[in-house]
Amino acid sequence: MPELPEVETSVRALRPLLLGRTITSVRNSWPRHVITPSLAELEERISGRHIEAAGRRGKFLVFSLSDDENLIIHLRMSGHLSVVDAGEPADAHTHTIFTLDNGRELRFRDPRKFGCVYLVHDPEEVLGKLGPEPLEPGFTVEALQERLRGRRRVLKPLLLDQSFLAGVGNIYADEALFYARLHPRRTTDTLTAEEIFALHSGLQKVLQAGIANEGASITTYVKPDGEKGNMQNVTAVYDRKGQPCPRCGTPIERIVLGGRSTYFCPSCQLL
Ligand SMILES: [Zn+2]
């Protein structure tokens, strides 16, 4: 599933293709893509709106439109957004298409069909429950410490909890825990101040690396232009079961934690 760095990479690629454009119509072959409003209301409210900004919050793409409309898209498992010429054939997995005023289209291709489209006046309606952005200046070590206070949660599932921290998913949680030398099963009430500092640094390091490498193309993720990112080539532990730990050479282990594949070094990340 695309995480913060993959979504950020998509936003950065789409922004110059979309800013200043006007959405002229919508076509949809999978109505359940549109969570709110109804498909008919979406078409009516979005047609003629200018795209004024393209941003990201957690794993959501947020397009600010004229007249206080906000188009919010979540790619979920297999979603992919691209901007292509209207004449280019769309395959059967392209379920939602936004027609633009320059002969091009913003296409939402989504083979697994778990993606979500929202059109709302107030973005908080969709984004209100998200935790802080890990790369925003306000997310300091002290802010992380404060969020951990009084909680007793297992680290890995907590990092995946979008209401605790926005944007981190399976890949970057495992990578951050590796750099912080923390076992994924550690509970938050056992963390020392040094370990919280290390966790904060680990999160910053791997999310920034993910953006610099334009995301990880491990399962289905590709950039809007169809090219792969590079992060999968530089991960330390994720998807590397049996391969030597880059720090100590011990084979990387895989366990299932909270239903998710979890990779770690049994020597560097002691329980
Ligand atoms: Zn190791």
pLDDT (tens digit, 9 = 90+) per residue, 7-55?
A: 999 999 999 999 999 999 999 999 999 999 999 999 999 999 999 999 9
For tokens 């590397």, what's the residue? 240
Predicted confidence (pLDDT) at residue 220 exceeds the cutoff of 90: no
CA of 158 to the centre of ligand 1 (A): 23
Ligand 1 centroid–CA 268 distance in Å is 4
Ligand 1 center–CA 187 separation, angstroms: 20
Per-residue pLDDT tens for 146-191? 999 988 999 999 999 999 999 999 999 999 999 999 999 999 999 9
**Smallest Cα–Cα separation from 156: which of 142, 136, 172?**
172
Contacts of 128 (CB under 8 A, 6+ apart): none
Task: Report pLDDT digits (tens) over 221-244.
Answer: 999 999 999 999 999 999 999 999
Cα(179) to ligand 1 centroid in Å equals: 10
Among residues 30, 69, 62, 63, which one has the least CA distance to residue 47? 69
Determine the 3-state secondary structure of 183 from DSSP. coil
User: 3-class DSSP state for residue 253?
Assistant: strand
In this prediction, residue 156 carries a pLDDT of 97
Q: Tell me the CB-side half-sphere exposure of residue 183, using CA atoms within 13 A.
A: 11
Distance, CA 246 to ligand 1 centroid (Å)? 7
Of the CA atoms within 13 Å of residue 141, those in its CB half-sphere come to 11
Across the range 251-255, mean pLDDT stands at: 98
CA-nearest of 227, 180, 231, 232 to 210 is: 231
Show the 3-state SS of 93-138.
CEEEEEEECCCEEEEEECCCCCCEEEEECCCHHHHCCCCCCCCCCC
Q: Which are the catalytic amino acids? A: 2-3, 59, 260
Q: How far is the CA of 177 from the centre of ligand 1 (A)?
A: 12
pLDDT of 218 above 90 = no
- Beta-carbon contacts of 62 under 8 Å, excluding residues fewer than 6 positions away, are 53, 54, 55, 56, 70, 71, 72, 123, 127
- Whether the pTM exceeds 0.85: the reply is yes
Measured between alpha carbons, how far is 268 from 261 in angstroms, rounded to an integer?
A: 18
58-114 per-position pLDDT tens digit: 999 999 999 999 999 999 999 999 999 999 999 999 999 999 999 999 999 999 999
